[in-house]
Amino acid sequence: MGISLILILFSYALLKGSEYSFFSSQDKKSKTTVKHLSDPDAIAGTILLFETILQIALISLISELYIIIFSPSDYLLLWAIAILFSTSVMLRYTGNVFSRYLSENDRYIRFAQMSGRSFSFLLFLARPFNRILSAFIEVFGETREERDAQSMEEYTEVIDITDSEEVEEKKLLKKIVGLNTTSVSQIMKPRVEIVSLDMEMTSREVIEKAIESGFSRLPVYDGSPDNVIGFLYIKDLVGYLRGKATDFNWHKHIREAYFVPGSKKINDLLEEFRQKKMHLALVADEYGGTDGIVTLDDILEEIVGEISDETDTNE
């Protein structure tokens, strides 16, 4: 019975750790993590289901322990309260201690990456429950998309009744308001249009590809374009170009890739770009592959229209 108690508390700690890691860290370096974050309702439903199962199991176990140790026959209500209180304290303490442990030294990032596959299995087991929960919400509740659409409609009405006579100004305001209903997948550049570098390329081939593309940042893949491992910033190679070097180790300049789910709203992505001082991200599909790429320019063009620079040609 003692082993069962330890296993239940350990499982509960892992579950709370997964919840903390996925929702608090939102690590974008792991495709598995990004895939989970693309459906936060499924994560929440899965955690709720297994937390409930573990809580029921713990209450049953503690009830048995109370009966064996104290043999209560009178004051059953007080005993029930004592059991529930004991269970609540144990679960809360276990969850808080493990979450506090993960919060130190960014352990939650490593935990999210390690627990990704295990949590995928839990998501699979909880799929029937999540479908029932989603159906219930659709019938009796209001989805986030519906709330966002309603908010956008209200904001648009406010903009329409303002005294401003500037048509372009109103259009711009409406586009800004629409950022929270537009998903990354709607503005991204699809994978087939991405210019990327193979890890097997020589430094000369990398330079030629960079010059040919005209881009300042290029994704780097290993083996398959789906397996993007990072980005190469062409500015990091300027020193070699000035020295007219043609054979150098360009791999050491590869920077970590940043992944986002295609369902993410672009107002959220814009805030992440601002906080992390980034300009581009890879869009992960539901299978963990690469679906496309989205840049800060894509977001700005969604607001103000197409932006041309000196490298663009008029057609």
Place of tokens 């030294």: 105
Would you tell me how many other CB atoms lie within 10 Å of the CB of residue 69?
8
25 or 254: which carries more pLDDT confidence?
A: 254
> What is the crossing angle of helices 2-20 and 40-70, to 10°?
160
Looking at 59-63, 170-174, 234-238, which range is the least confident one?
170-174
* Cα 218 from Cα 295, distance rounded (Å): 12
The whole-number pLDDT of residue 158 equals 47
Q: How far is CA 227 from CA 189, 193, 247, 278, 281, in A?
A: 17, 16, 25, 21, 14
The mean pLDDT of 144-166, rounded to a whole number, is: 52
d(CA 261, CA 8): 33
pLDDT of 207: 85
The end-to-end CA distance of the chain, in Å, is 76
CB < 8 Å & 24+ apart, contacts of 72-80: none
Element (H, E) at 60: helix 40-70
pLDDT digits (tens, 9 = 90+) for 268-308: 888 888 888 888 888 887 766 788 899 888 888 877 766 65
Query: Nearest to residue 130, comparing CAs of 35, 16, 44?
Result: 44
Determine the longest span between alpha carbons in the chain, in angstroms.
90
What band does 159 get if pLDDT is binned at 50, 70 and 90?
Answer: very low
pLDDT tens digits along 64-85: 777 777 665 555 666 677 777 7
Residue 290: is it exposed, middle or buried by C-beta count within 10 angstroms (0-12/13-18/19+)?
buried
Residue 94 has pLDDT above 60, yes or no: yes
Tokens representing 307 are 């932006």
Name the band, by pLDDT with cuts 50, 70 and 90, for residue 155: very low
Q: Looking at residue 229, what is its pLDDT? A: 86
Q: Which two tokens stand for residue 190?
A: 């699809």
Q: What is the pLDDT of residues 102-131, one digit of tens each?
A: 655 555 556 665 666 677 777 788 888 877
Q: Note the pLDDT of residue 82.
A: 72
Q: Are 86 and 5 in contact (CB under 8 A)?
A: no
Which has the closest alpha carbon to 301: 169, 155, 187? 187
Specify the 3-state DSSP secondary structure of 183: strand
* Comparison of pLDDT for 97 and 215, the residue scoring more: 215
Q: What is the pLDDT of residues 179-220, one digit of tens each?
A: 677 888 888 988 888 889 999 988 888 888 888 888 888 999
Token pair belonging to 218 = 């290029």
More confident residue, 172 or 66: 66
d(CA 115, CA 272): 24
pLDDT in tens, 25-64: 444 455 555 555 556 677 778 888 888 888 888 888 877 7
